[in-house]
Structure 1
Amino acid sequence: MKLSKLVTAVAVLTLSASSSLALAKVDEATAKRLKNDLTPVGAERYGNSEGTIPAWDGGIKEIPANYEEGQFHPDPFESDKMLFKINKSNMAQYEKHLTEGQKALLTQYAPGYEIPVYPSHRSASYPERIYEKLYENALGAELLENANGVKSTIATSPFPIPANGVEVIWNHILRFRGEQYEYRAAFVTPTKDGSYTPILTNYGYYFAYAEPGITLEEIDNKIFYLKTKIVSPAKLAGTLTLVHETLDQVRSPRKAWRYQAGERRLRRVPNLAYGTDLPSTASLRTVDQKDMYNGAPNQYSWELQGKKEIYIPYNSYKLNKASEDAENVIRPSHINQDLTRYELHRVWVVEGKLREGLNHVYHKRRFYFDEDTWQIVLAEDYNEDGELWRVSEAHTINNYQVPATWIAVELTYDLKAERYYLDGVDKQGPVNYNPDFKRREFTTSAARREAKR
């Protein structure tokens, strides 16, 4: 199926789904496309007609010989030569492959902000059990009432052959990122002159939803458990946050608790969701922008707009390694673009409009999902006047020892404040995907004990 025909088919599905979000699971004949013209994840298996996007051949299937456990991932594509750089003066030449957000960044931060483009590699790969679950999910997964949750799905994205925008949103929220992991890294909010104070934090994730052999009944309506603890600066050190993220957010919304050293109490945080400012980010980001987008999608009407070929951040191994030291990455107004890598890939485009009567700082949002991972790689957020306000990027790598694709560095540019939020610098080593967590370590009683140590 050619791209133009696929986009037309998506548009028809979107229109047919607009009257009822009950459409979800597909029949056996449709699901078999995941073994033929589509990849197991639901991407188009073939390349494009120009040859600038290759066919998917399984992604990175073997760990590079020079990889050592406990070290940063060596770049499998280090020998690639840059094809060209896009800047304000030549962006009209590449306009069809750029988003509105990218054009705004190229214009506002010229001449320093450029987009270096490299050959495209469809490096995404996942364990075989995840491919099997994707097929099962396609046959059985369904949206709950008002699309606030899903059922009959496990382990990974529920709708590899999506029929509407909200199904694509859930594919991102539930995409496979590993079973559990921990790491220590900092986020920063540089001022206009580039000065910053890193907030170094320990992160621990336990993905109950992705646990091998687990059932929906056994996960007790939990997607994952998250525990963070700030290490520095001193005035924030010891602040601990515990999150229980739920699958059916109608039955049980997200639960969150926070311990602050000065209070010496673990308190329930009822508003750690939606458009609330993400703590300690100088009001440059909302809670639901973490991981590019998270939480219940019920505040917006989501429209699936089909696919586009876009230059997106990809295979960002160089940036991941360089971000071991924030000074390598941080520059006034924007990050050091010489460390970045962009490739031409197909993306799903979904636009959300704030539902009437609801409140959020963003009145329109546009997300771009990498077809090979369901990861949101680019996002645009608009204010109530319809003006583009913030532009976000997820620079990803394939963590090939899992294997799974996840964010190495995540950032949001505020075009009004001319500042940015950057997460994933001052890394204290690579992500540990084998921390041997137990679910009981993510209870409120365990969090209290850890906070007081």
Structure 2
Amino acid sequence: MRNHVAAFVAAVLFGFSGQALSAVTAAEAAQLDGKLTPVGAERKGNTAGSIPAWTGGLTSPPESWRKGTVEVNPFPDDQALFVITADNLDLYRDKLSDGHVRMFEQYGPDFFMPVYQTRRTAAFPEHVYNKFRENALTAELLDNGNGVRDTIMTSPFPVPKNGLEVIWNHILRYRGEEITFRSASATPQTDGGYNPVVNDYEYFFAYSKKGAKLEEIDNKIFYLKTDTISPSSLAGTITLVHETLDQIRSPRLAWRYDAGSRRLRRSPNLAYETDLPNSSSLRSVDQKDMYNGAPNQYDWTLKGKRELFVPYNAYLLHGADVKAEDVIRPGHINQALSRYELHRVWVVEAKRRTGINHIYNRRVFYLDEDSWQILASEEYDEHDNLWRFSEAHNISYYSEPVFWTTMEMTYDLRAKRYYIDGLDDGFPPYDFNPGFRGSEFTASAARRAARR
């Protein structure tokens, strides 16, 4: 038993790539009701007291919030404990990602990080926690890690043993059962000028529906339909995506309706390194949601855990009165609206496999231990130079207990430009209960919607 525990600890601390050697034992899974949270995070705080214990997360909204309105800041009295700048960078370097260090080096006094009290707000419904416990005992990687089996609803591996399991925890994390919202994206010029692209999003998470069984969801994780509202040159463009669980056996299905040609066409290349539509070639398709799609182009290594200053509880960026012009600045966002906290993160390195073509030779991901959400990532070029750096600013939503992004951005350190998505710009709140049916996400349904 001592040897088994030692092997497990070594795997978590030092990581290894490839498939899991075996599913976790009942004793390991039992930690989810002991020293670990139901999600698999360390329940205790750190020894310095700068990271508190997890006590259930943010399970009820503040009294000032009203249903049907945008989430309000649950910590309005919080003030920054300190601000990291290019001048005091060396004091905090050990708790900063390489990407953040590079942002300080490149943007000097204009880039700063306000650091607030750490609040472990991530929380999920109890039936999701129950699935974490079940998945821990049954979930397994498919051959070569291209999919998973015997799992449903949420992250499969709350007690992960390798990098692939950790990245699948992000891909399959619980984001509710369905959701609709409107948001804008932009690719600001070096002088800060921008033209936003506004889209309506509709998600139907087949994998996460209550009562769903893996054999009944047709290998689908979710269905996504986007409808471009503006600018007028793009208005009416519809994209439909069927995201598959095993993308090697059954690749992602995607269609795109171009209002100009008035035709719905298959988009077989909407994956991997393909430019993300309307990103000005500043972001690849597989960077949407920080990382998505089949992980077969990389070897994944779990590097262990670190305590890092990461974007968290981004209610200032999410505020109902925050406009795009309040957020966008030349080179990077308005950091005065950002909030960083000290959290434990899983660190996963992805190295491009021999013979694979991808614009990123190496990538490093930092995942929140309390939610399996990627909070930051670094993307390296062919010569292993840091090329791009991405952040996800997240909140805990109120109408559905979900910890998810409100805004993402990818900074291109060569072009000195960035792509930003999630600009709320006074739009209505996210609706986590729109009442969708799976039949609304077929190609024929998209074609009918386009013609209207």
For the structure 1 residues 82 and 96, does the alpha-carbon distance in structure 2 shift closer, same or farther, using more than 3 Å as the test? Answer: same
2:231 is aligned to 233
C-alpha deviation, 1:158, in angstroms: 0.1
Aligned residues of 2:300 and 2:349 also touching (Cα < 8 A): yes
1:32 and 2:24 correspond: no
Following the alignment from structure 1 to structure 2, what is the Cα–Cα distance between the partners of residues 209 and 273? 20
**TM-score for both structures, normalised by structure 2:** 0.97
Following the alignment from structure 2 to structure 1, what is the Cα–Cα distance between the partners of residues 68 and 320? 16
Q: Structure 1 segments of 4 or more deviating over 2 A? A: 6-18, 22-25
What amino acid is the match of 1:411? M
For the structure 1 residues 16 and 62, does the alpha-carbon distance in structure 2 shift closer, same or farther, using more than 3 Å as the test? Answer: closer
Following the alignment from structure 1 to structure 2, what is the Cα–Cα distance between the partners of residues 11 and 275? 33
Correspondence 1:329-368 to 2 at 5 A: 329-368=327-366
Following the alignment from structure 1 to structure 2, what is the Cα–Cα distance between the partners of residues 148 and 445? 29
2:250 is aligned to 252
Correspondence 1:84-163 to 2 at 5 A: 84-163=82-161
C-alpha deviation, 1:401, in angstroms: 2.4
Unaligned runs of 5+ in 2: none
Correspondence 1:34-433 to 2 at 5 A: 34-321=32-319, 324-425=322-423, 426-433=425-432
C-alpha deviation, 1:13, in angstroms: 5.2
Following the alignment from structure 2 to structure 1, what is the Cα–Cα distance between the partners of residues 90 and 61? 39
C-alpha deviation, 1:400, in angstroms: 2.6
For the structure 1 residues 356 and 323, does the alpha-carbon distance in structure 2 shift closer, same or farther, using more than 3 Å as the test? Answer: farther
C-alpha deviation, 1:452, in angstroms: 1.0
Following the alignment from structure 1 to structure 2, what is the Cα–Cα distance between the partners of residues 362 and 441? 35
**TM-score for both structures, normalised by structure 1:** 0.96
**Partner SS for 2:277:** coil
Following the alignment from structure 1 to structure 2, what is the Cα–Cα distance between the partners of residues 444 and 287? 21
Following the alignment from structure 1 to structure 2, what is the Cα–Cα distance between the partners of residues 330 and 10? 43
C-alpha deviation, 1:71, in angstroms: 1.2
What amino acid is the match of 2:446? A
Residue range with higher mean Cα deviation, 160-169 or 7-16? 7-16
RMSD: 1.5
Deviations 1:335-365 (A, max 9, x none): 0000000000000000000000000000000
For the structure 1 residues 334 and 275, does the alpha-carbon distance in structure 2 shift closer, same or farther, using more than 3 Å as the test? Answer: same
Aligned residues of 2:61 and 2:74 also touching (Cα < 8 A): no
Following the alignment from structure 1 to structure 2, what is the Cα–Cα distance between the partners of residues 412 and 133? 32
C-alpha deviation, 1:405, in angstroms: 0.4
C-alpha deviation, 1:66, in angstroms: 1.3
C-alpha deviation, 1:25, in angstroms: 2.2
1:447 is aligned to 446
**Aligned residue pairs, count:** 447
Aligned residues of 1:59 and 1:124 also touching (Cα < 8 A): yes
Aligned residues of 2:361 and 2:381 also touching (Cα < 8 A): yes
Deviations 1:357-396 (A, max 9, x none): 0000000000000000000000000000110000000000
- Percent of residue pairs bearing the same amino acid type: 57
